[in-house]
Amino acid sequence: MKRHPLILIAATVVATLAGVHTFGCGAARSARSLAAEKVYVPPGELDKYYGFLSGGQSGSVFVVGVPSGRLIREIPVFEPRAAYGYAMLETDARRQLLESTGGLWGDTHHPVLSEKNGLFDGEYLWINDLANGRLARVRLDYFEADRIIKIPNLQGAHGIAVVSPDTKYIVVNGEFEQPTDGLVTNPAPYTSVVAFVDPEAMEMKFEVRVNGNIDIADTSKDGHYSFSTVYNLEQGRDMGSMIQYDRDAVAAIDIPAAEKAIAAGKGDVRNGVPILDPEKSEGVLTLIPVPKNPHGVNVTPDGRYAIAAGKLSPTVTIIDAHTLKIVAEPEVGLGPLHTTFDNRGNAFTSLFLDSQVVKWNIDKAVTGTSDYIVDRINVHYNIGHLQAVGGDSMHPYGDYLLALNKLSKDQYVPVGPDLPENQEIIDISGEKMKLLASFPTPPEPHDATFIAASVLKPLVHQTYTPSADAVQAGHESVVRTGPHAVSVDMTLIRSAYTPDAFEVREGDQVTMKITNVETIRDMIHGFALPDHNLNIALPPGYTKTVTFDAGKPGVYWFYCTNFCSALHLEMRGRMVVQPKASTVTLTDWHAAENVKGQLVPGVPSTGDKR
Ligand code: K7E
Ligand code: CUA
Ligand code: CA
C-alpha cells in the first residue's frame, strides 16, 4: 500500500506526542509495571502456588493459581456439575449420598490441607458444608471429592481445622445450637458439639459438648489443643441477646484429656457417637474469656500463640497456646475477623469495617511495645478472610497474601444488580504491603489455603488406573440380560464409540458400562444422550456405569461433549429404541438404512454411510 507522505508525518507527530505523554506519567507507569510483573505469569509458565478457595454457596472449591489469579479448576463437592459429570445422574451413588445427607447444594467455607510433620503433604483437602452439617474430603491426586459425611448431633458445620502436626483428626464446629436431647419437646437448654473426625476413615471418633454458637477453629501446632471461638455465651436466640456480654470465649479442648475420658467410657452415646459433657469430665474444656462476639482464631506458625479476633471489639486477644493465659490484647482496627502470618514474625488481620488489612508485629504486641502496628492497606471492600501463602502451616512462604473481599462495588464492569466477589493479591515480601492485582470470582469464597506447586504438582495423576471391571478394547458387547433389560459394554477412544450403534426396546432398562481407554492425560470423552437426562464426562482410564430407562421409541444420537480431536464432531453413535411390538432386528435396521446420503453435485460419492 502506498501512503501519502503527509499522513506519515502526521502519524509520527502523534506517536511523538504519545511518547511525551507516556514519559510524563513515568512514575505511575513504572509502579504499575512493577506490580504487573509480580503477578504476571507468561503463557506456558506455571504459577508458584495452588490456591484453594472455598466456593461458598457454589458448594465447591475453586482452584486458583497464585500469583496470576487465574481460575484453573472448580472442584464440585456438594453440588451436581454437568461439565464434569459430577453427581448428575439420579442413579449415581454420589448424588444419592448428597440427597440423603442434606441436599444437592452446600455452603463451603473452610478448605484445610492435610499435614505431615507440620508441612502440607498434598494428599487431601477437607471442606465443610455449613448449611447441611457435612464434611467432605477431596483427593488431591485426582482433584476429586472422594468422601462426604454427615456429622451427627450438630447443625451448621462451620469452623474446621486439621489437628497438627500429622492430621490426627479433623475438627468440626457445630455452630447452630440444638436441644440437648435432640428433641423439640425439650427445648432447653440448647447446646452444640465440637466433632473429632478420623481423617482416613472419614468416621466420627467423638464429640465434646460446647455451648454458645461455636464458630471458627484452629489447633495448636503440637496437636494438644483445639481452639474454637464462641460468640454467644449469652445463649441468646436473637441478635440483640447475643451481644449482651463484653466477653464471650475461646473454647480450648485438651485433646489427650478428651481421648482419655472417651477411653474411660465417659461419653454419652447418641447417634453412635460418644459425646463428652465437659462438666462431667474435668480438664477437657477451658473457656478463655475474649471480647466480644469473637470470630477467627488462628495459631501462630511457631505454635506459641492462638490469636482471637474481636469482631465487635477493635482488638485481637493473644493467648499462650500452652498455658491458655491471655498475654496481650492489642488494638488493631475496626471489625477484626481473621489473622494470618508471614515467616518473619508478623501477623496480618482482616478488618471488615475498616476494609483494611493491618500488619502487626507479634513480639512487639506481646511485649507491649507501642509501635507494633507495621502497616495498613485498604482493600476493596469489606474483607472477610485473608490468607498468606502457607500462613496456616508451620512454614509460611511469606511472599503473597490473598484478601477475600465480600463486596466488589466499583471494581468491575457491572453485571446486573448482583456483582462478583473480589479477591486481591497483596505483596507481603517487604515491610510495606503492596496491592498487586485483583480478580473476580463467582459467589462466594470465604477462606483459602495454598500449597507450593513444587509439592503438589508431582503428586497429581496423569490418568485413572483402569478398574478391575473396566471394559477392554475388543471386548465390547450388547447383551439382552432379561425380558426388559439390556447391558452395553462400551469403550471410547479418539474419536469413536464402540459399539457406535445399539438397539433396545421400549420399556427396557439399559445398563451401560463405559470405559475411556485413552492412556493420555486430559483426553476426555463425553457421552451425552439427548432426552434421557444423561451426560457424563470420562477422563482417561475412567469407567462409569449408568442405568436408565430406554424411553420413547426413536433414534437417539449420543455424542461427545468434550472436544477431543479434529474428528470430535464425528464422535457419535445411535441408540435405537424399538416400539414394543416391533420385530425389526439390528441387522434389518442396518440393511435398510440410507447409506448414500445427499450427493453434492459434481463430487463423486464414496458410497459410505452417512
Ligand atoms: Cu469468617 Cu465462615 Cu470463615 Cu466467612 S467465616 S468470612
Ligand atoms: Cu471424544 Cu470429543
Ligand atoms: Ca456474645
CA distance 241 to 236: 5
Q: Does ligand 1 have an atom closer than 6 angstroms to the CB of 311?
A: no
Q: Does ligand 2 have an atom closer than 6 angstroms to the CB of 88?
A: no
- Quick check: 544 and 538 in contact, CB under 8 A? yes
CA distance 393 to 113: 9
pLDDT beneath 50, residues of the chain? 1-24, 594-596, 603-610
Is 20 inside a domain boundary? no
Same domain, yes or no: 496 and 359: no
Same domain, yes or no: 254 and 358: yes
Q: Does ligand 1 have an atom closer than 6 angstroms to the CB of 446?
A: yes
Using one digit for the tens of pLDDT, what is the confidence trace for 385-443?
A: 999 999 999 999 999 999 999 999 999 999 999 999 999 999 999 999 999 999 999 99
Same domain, yes or no: 432 and 576: no
Task: Please tell me the total number of residues recorded for the chain in this structure.
Answer: 610
Same domain, yes or no: 562 and 440: no
Residue whose Cα lies nearest atom 5 of ligand 1: it is 446
Residue whose Cα lies nearest atom 2 of ligand 1: it is 109
Is 105 inside a domain boundary? yes
Could you give the count of Cα atoms lying within 13 Å of 345 in the half-sphere of its Cβ? 9
How high is the pLDDT of residue 580? Answer: 87
- Beta bridge partners of residue 505, listed in sequence order: 578
CATH code (residue 368) = 2.130.10.10
The rounded Å distance from CA 562 to ligand 1 centre is 36
Contact partners, residue 136, CB within 8 Å, separation at least 6 = 77, 78, 126, 127, 128, 129, 145, 147, 148, 149
Q: Which domain holds residue 484?
A: 477-591
Same domain, yes or no: 215 and 346: yes
Q: Does ligand 2 have an atom closer than 6 angstroms to the CB of 536?
A: no
Judged by phi (left if over 0) then psi (alpha if -120 to 50, else beta), residue 26 lies in: alpha
How high is the pLDDT of residue 581? Answer: 81
Is 322 inside a domain boundary? yes
Is 374 inside a domain boundary? yes
CA distance 254 to 65: 37
- On the 0-12 / 13-18 / 19+ scale of CB atoms within 10 A, 196 is buried
Is 417 inside a domain boundary? yes
> Residue 448 corresponds to which cell in the numbers above?
483459602
Contact partners, residue 130, CB within 8 Å, separation at least 6 = 106, 107, 108, 109, 156, 157, 158, 175
**Cα-based distances in Å from 569 to 326, 525, 527, 563:** 66, 11, 12, 8
- Quick check: 439 and 65 in contact, CB under 8 A? no
CA distance 221 to 198: 18
The rounded Å distance from CA 205 to ligand 1 centre is 25
Is 40 inside a domain boundary? no
Could you give the count of Cα atoms lying within 13 Å of 289 in the half-sphere of its Cβ? 4
Residue whose Cα lies nearest atom 1 of ligand 2: it is 525
CA distance 55 to 279: 38
**Ligand 2 atom closest to Cα of residue 569:** 2
Number of domains in the chain: 2
- Quick check: 58 and 131 in contact, CB under 8 A? no
Is 469 inside a domain boundary? no
- Quick check: 289 and 273 in contact, CB under 8 A? no
How high is the pLDDT of residue 582? Answer: 75
Using one digit for the tens of pLDDT, what is the confidence trace for 183-195?
A: 666 666 789 999 9
Residue type, position 472, single letter = Q
Beta strands 543-549 and 485-493: pairing type? unpaired
* Ligand number nearest to the C-alpha of 403: 1
Q: Does ligand 1 have an atom closer than 6 angstroms to the CB of 161?
A: no
Same domain, yes or no: 354 and 493: no
State phi, psi for 426 to the nearest 5 degrees. Answer: -120, 135
Q: Does ligand 2 have an atom closer than 6 angstroms to the CB of 568?
A: yes
**Ligand 2 atom closest to Cα of residue 560:** 2
Residue whose Cα lies nearest atom 4 of ligand 1: it is 446
> Residue 275 corresponds to which cell in the numbers above?
459425646
- On the 0-12 / 13-18 / 19+ scale of CB atoms within 10 A, 153 is buried
Same domain, yes or no: 277 and 177: yes
* Ligand number nearest to the C-alpha of 524: 2
Is 472 inside a domain boundary? no
Same domain, yes or no: 400 and 513: no
CATH code (residue 531) = 2.60.40.420
- Quick check: 320 and 338 in contact, CB under 8 A? no
How high is the pLDDT of residue 609? Answer: 38
CA dihedral 400, 406, 412, 415 (to 10 degrees): 140
Same domain, yes or no: 219 and 257: yes
Residue 20's SS3 state is helix
Same domain, yes or no: 91 and 157: yes
In 3-state terms, the chain is what percent helix, strand and coil (to 5)?
Answer: 15, 40, 45
Residue with the three cell numbers 493467648? 319
Mutate to test the pocket of ligand 1, among 339, 447, 449 (most ligand atoms within 8 A of CB): 447
Same domain, yes or no: 152 and 197: yes
Residue type, position 538, single letter = L
Same domain, yes or no: 453 and 486: no
CB atoms within 10 A of CB 261: 23
The rounded Å distance from CA 308 to ligand 1 centre is 13
How high is the pLDDT of residue 19? Answer: 42
